[in-house]
Amino acid sequence: MAFYLLRRVLYAIPIALAVGFVCFMLVQIAPGDPINAIVPPDAPADVVEQVRRDYGLDQPLPVQFGLWLWKVAQGDLGRSLATGRPVWADLSSAIGNTLLLAAVASAIGFTLGCVLGGLAGTFRGSVLDRIAVGAAVAGVSVPHYWLGMVLVVIFSVQLNWLPAMGAGPGGSADWAWDWAHMQYLVLPAVTLSVIPMGIVTRTVRGIVAEIMNQEFVVALRGKGLTRRGVFLHVVKNAAPNTLAVMGLQLGYLMGGSILVETVFSWPGTGLLLNNAIFQRDLPVLQGTILVLAMFFVALNLIVDLMQTALDPRIKRA
């Protein structure tokens, strides 16, 4: 077990390096000279050459990757072409906002998913089951950026109950857990929650149905255990796999919120990415993707370790 955990942690290192390499290559595959990602296009030729030498862009590709990696390891993601500010400065506040949105969205999605999936798995074939399955399919099939627009049309345009975009008074910097701020979070979080809702419902339904079919549940019932008692046994057995799916979903939300953030102008990493794409601001694009991907790698690792720790049946040599 300890050996497995150690191996798993060590395995994350080459993965992280490779992910870094893919992010490094993003600028290389971009059309045009990578130097354009550092200096503005109207810079004089001698400055361009100077910068090229300073950044080691005249070196072979592996050396460049090493240099880039060294900078990244020190927290230097380069400077934005559009604003001239360090990428990390914009990124750090954006990450907080995306994390906030993803956390609230997953709280909604996971709760709904567990309740719907649990009920559907317990009462298979019932009307409730059909509703849950329908909701799950709809949740994974809906283009969430469109759902966001529909919610804005209903709740902002028609009913005028909730704001359509932004992050509230004072922007995200003055975030507080009061209604004045939280009302801005409602629509984007609900929009973003439909995908994890659908996936968690499907997963939990499958797991619970499988457990309910096992003999030990029949035995527990026959022994005269209360519904509550049986429920606890089912939860205990369903937890490891469910948590694993949830962990990955949180990561997908962090990476996938770009569309929803664009719809609601939520000042997170998605909006940052969107602006970077429009302005062809490659350092920002590269830095944001790198940080989000690293977050996902870490999350993968945590989920895997947690699952092993929670489920003694998993014996991985």
Under the rule (CB under 8 A), what is the footprint of other proteins?
4, 7-8, 11, 14-16, 18-19, 22-23, 26-27, 29-31, 137-138, 140-147, 149-150, 152-153, 157-158, 241, 244-245, 248, 251-252, 254-256, 258-259, 262-263, 273-274, 276-278, 280, 282, 285-286, 289, 292-293, 296-297, 300, 303-304, 307, 316-317
- Contact assessment for residue 189 and residue 144, using Cβ atoms and an 8 Å cutoff: no
Nearer to other proteins, 29 or 127 (CB): 29
Q: State which residue, 48 or 303, has the beta carbon closest to other proteins.
A: 303
Backbone φ, ψ for residue 213 (5° rounding): -85, -10
Sign of CA dihedral 171, 175, 180, 184: positive
Q: How far is the CB of 226 from other proteins (least distance, A)?
A: 29
Q: How far is the CB of 18 from other proteins (least distance, A)?
A: 4
Provide the minimum distance between the beta carbon of 160 and other proteins in the complex, in angstroms, as a whole number. 11
Q: How far is the CB of 269 from other proteins (least distance, A)?
A: 9
Q: Which is nearer to other proteins, 30 or 235 (CB)?
A: 30
Look at residues 199, 200, 193 and name the one whose alpha carbon lies nearest to residue 114: 200
**CA distance to 61, 76, 283, per residue, from 47 (Å):** 21, 21, 19
Q: 116: which 2 tokens?
A: 């719907």
C-beta of 28 vs 92, nearer to other proteins: 28
Rank residues 17 and 219 by Cβ distance to other proteins and give the closer one: 17
Residue reference for tokens 């559009």 = 82
Q: In the numeric block, which tokens belong to residue 132?
A: 């849950």
CB of 279 to other proteins, least distance (A): 11
Question: Considering beta carbons, is residue 65 or 145 the nearer one to other proteins?
Answer: 145
Pick 10 or 73: Cβ nearer other proteins: 10
Q: How far is it, in rounded angstroms, from Cα 29 to Cα 228?
A: 57
Shortest spacing between CB 31 and other proteins, in angstroms: 6
For residue 224, the minimal CB distance to other proteins (Å) is 32
For residue 150, the minimal CB distance to other proteins (Å) is: 5
Nearer to other proteins, 59 or 308 (CB): 308
Contact (CB, 8 A) for 173 and 93: yes
State which residue, 206 or 220, has the beta carbon closest to other proteins.
Answer: 206
Please report how close the Cβ of residue 202 comes to other proteins at its closest, in angstroms: 10
